[in-house]
Amino acid sequence: MTRRWMIVIVAVCLVVAAVAVAYAAVQNKASGPDVVRAQRFELVDAEGRVRALLAMSLDGRPGLAFLDEKGEGRAGLVLGTDGPTLELWDKKGKLRARLAVHPDLGPALTLHDEQGVMRAGLLAGTDGRPGLAFLDEKGKPLTLLGVGVDAGGKGLVLLDEKGETIWRAP
């Protein structure tokens, strides 16, 4: 082989290698990085309004919030010190429903009135005993239904405004 052909072969190999490296760089850039680190991500609509947030709170709790077209929070998922909580708010910003897993109470679903006062609750205690509660406009229990409602075990209990039993069914 002549020296001239050797130079041509080396040049072709260098060009092929350069093309391969450039292609790999473009592919890597197109697929994005493996890890993105930040303290806040914002999802915006076509008009540039923030509609969802994934962020760390000031006290270090991660959260995900969904906002309406006016920028008001409508739903949120937070991992708090007591456990995960999903909250739903109405257009006035009042809490209307909460689903949480509390370390002492277990999973619970609470429903709230227009003022944000809890009016009903459904829970499955940490010991697995389910319960249902209906509350008055001040948040005081009116009716309790469940297993282990009181020392007597399972049953239905009606309470007065002071929280005292007025009727019990075994």
Amino acid 21: pLDDT:
64
163 falls within a domain: yes
169 falls within a domain: yes
In terms of residue numbers, what domain contains 132? 106-170
59 falls within a domain: no
In whole angstroms, give the CA distance from residue 91 to residue 114.
Answer: 10
161 falls within a domain: yes
Neighbours of 17 (CB within 10 A): 10
Amino acid 145: pLDDT:
77
Q: How many domains does the chain have?
A: 2
6 falls within a domain: yes
2-34 pLDDT per residue, tens: 666 566 565 555 555 556 666 666 666 556 667
Structure tokens at 44: 């915006």
Q: How many CA atoms lie within 13 A of 91 on its CB side?
A: 2
In whole angstroms, give the CA distance from residue 57 to residue 80.
Answer: 10
Q: Can you give the pLDDT of all 170 residues of the chain as single tens digits?
A: 566 656 656 555 555 555 666 666 666 655 666 788 888 999 999 999 999 999 988 788 899 999 999 999 999 999 888 889 999 999 999 999 999 988 887 899 999 999 999 999 998 877 777 888 888 898 888 777 776 555 555 667 777 667 677 777 76
- Bridge partners (DSSP) listed for residue 75: 66, 88
Amino acid 6: pLDDT:
60
164 falls within a domain: yes
CATH number at residue 138: 3.90.930.1
133 falls within a domain: yes
48 falls within a domain: no
